Amino acid sequence: MGMTSGLGAAARLGAALCAMALAAGTALADPVKLKRADPQPENLQQGLAVKYGYPAEVRELKIAKDYRSGAKAGPPLVGFDYMDNAPGENALTSERAERVVAIINGYLHFDQPGIWRMRWHSNDGLEVIVGGEEVYRHDGRHACDTIGWQDDYLVEEPGWYEVEAVWFQRLNTSCLMMEWQPPGGAWEWTPNEATGFN
Each residue of 144-186: pLDDT tens digit?
A: 988 877 789 999 999 999 999 999 999 999 999 999 999 999 9
Through-space distance between the first and last CA atoms of the chain, rounded to whole angstroms: 67
Same domain? For 17 and 45 the reply is no
Task: Give me Rg for the CA atoms of the chain.
Answer: 20
Same domain? For 50 and 70 the reply is yes
Boundaries of domain holding 101: 31-197
Same domain? For 13 and 96 the reply is no
Same domain? For 8 and 104 the reply is no
Grouping H, G, I as helix, E, B as strand and the rest as coil, residue 169 is strand
The rounded distance, in Å, linking the Cα atoms of 89 and 52 is 16
- The CATH number of the domain where 150 resides is what? 2.60.120.1560
Same domain? For 121 and 175 the reply is yes
What's the pLDDT band for 84 if we cut at 50, 70, 90? very high
Tally of structural domains, the chain: 2
Same domain? For 63 and 155 the reply is yes
* pLDDT at residue 67 in the model: 85
Q: What is the rounded average pLDDT of the residues 95-101? A: 96
Same domain? For 23 and 48 the reply is no
Same domain? For 121 and 23 the reply is no
Same domain? For 26 and 44 the reply is no
Q: What distances in angstroms separate CA 57 from CA 8, 88, 168, one per listed residue?
A: 56, 17, 10
